Chain A
Amino acid sequence: MQEKEIIDGIIAGNEAAFRELVHRHQSMVVNVCHQFLQDPEDAHDVAQEVFIEVFRSASRFRHQSKISTWLYRIAVNRSLNYLRKKKRHDWIERLDDLIAMKSFAPLEKSPEENREQMESLQVLHQAIGSLPEKQRAAITLSFFEELSYKEIADILKITVSNVGVLINRAKKGVQEKVLRYYGKHYRAL
């Protein structure tokens, strides 16, 4: 089924078209939400909201971008809204859950190396989580979804050069926080 057929089908109330859309993009949507929310249950919850919004607003889709770009945009906005509403600044606690749920696939290394990797991942998420929203969105899409600046620009509805600016600032912010964390760590050693 072509993208246009899917959207037209959804507008016409064809459930098979909607099911096709969900099956094609559910993994991407759930994972984008998960990158922002760092909680599998919340990620599934918000991903459902994304698809409900798609179902309700399919008639407003103008086919000027790919469906995936549209879905990314809704997923990012919904995730940020969710965080705003819940005022979740307890990222560190959530990361403990994340590690407990084995969302991170440990490499075949010694327990000490695994512990270091877990710590690094925790520090990275903590650093990204403390960034301003736009920077967080841009760097998450770049780091974790490995999207190009052009794709990120389409999703966030900003220019490519603005994406570059946001990502550079985000990287500086992340670098600063990571160095501050390990700077204290170094003194403790």
Chain B
Amino acid sequence: MKCKQIHRQLTGNIEKTLDPVIEKKVTEHLSTCSKCFFLYERLGETLSMAGKQSRLSVDPFFYTRLMARMENEQAPVARKRIISLQPVFMSFLILLSVAFGIALGGGANLLNPTSSSQIRIENIQSYSKQLGFNEMDQEYLEQTLLLNNDKE
């Protein structure tokens, strides 16, 4: 048997699954060919590693972290809803604050606009009389003074 043919049988020889006739030929070849024997040994060593690898120890907080992740994966759904409702909520707040401002700044007058404006005019007139801000009164006083000056 040639080296290439032997190579195809190496795993079978390691696992002892070859036909006895072929196994004998492989064994004979391995005893005479140093390269094939080297490869046979390396392959055997490599395949045996499968059973020698130690098990990975699990993180002691695995369950805690799992539960935290599950909660986090649920949270974004609620957060998304909040984010999508945010413009509506903000508009409502703006409208509410505008309405509150109107109510605070005499919004009550809106209920009876005529009477409130009349009251306001009367108030202004009485204040202006008291303070001498009435334009007509001032004009009268000025005219009187001017007339007095002319007489003198």
Contact = CB atoms under 8 A, between A and B. Distances in A.
B66 interface: yes
A31 B39 contact: no
A26 B58 contact: yes
Contact of B56 (A23, A34, A127, A143): A34
B46 A124 contact: yes
Given A48-B65, A178-B43, A146 B51 contact: yes
Given A52-B70, A103-B56, A186-B38, A124 B47 contact: yes
B10 A48 contact: no
B46 A51 contact: no
A40 B56 contact: yes
B38 A121 contact: no
A183 B34 CA distance: 12
A107 interface: yes
A183 B70 CA distance: 49
Contacts of A185: 42
A60 to B, nearest CB: 18
A95 to B, nearest CB: 12
Interface size class of B (residues with CB under 8 A): 20 to 34
Nearest 9 pairs between A and B by C-beta? Answer: A105-B54, A143-B50, A182-B42, A120-B46, A121-B49, A34-B56, A175-B11, A120-B45, A124-B46
A27 interface: yes
A86 B73 CA distance: 21
Interface of A: 19, 22-23, 26-27, 30-31, 34, 40, 43-44, 47-48, 51-52, 55, 103-105, 107, 116-117, 120-121, 123-124, 127, 143-144, 146, 171-172, 174-175, 178-179, 182-183, 185-186
B38 A179 contact: no
A182 B56 contact: no
Contact of B53 (A51, A103, A116, A183): A103
Contact of A26 (B42, B45, B62): B62
Given A23-B63, A26-B62, A51-B66, A104 B42 contact: no
B54 A103 contact: yes
B56 A30 contact: yes
A22 B63 contact: yes
B70 A55 contact: yes
Contact of A144 (B39, B50, B63): B50
B55 A182 contact: no
Interface in B121-146: none
B46 A48 contact: no
B29 interface: no
Contact of B43 (A31, A40, A117, A182): A182
A179 B70 contact: no
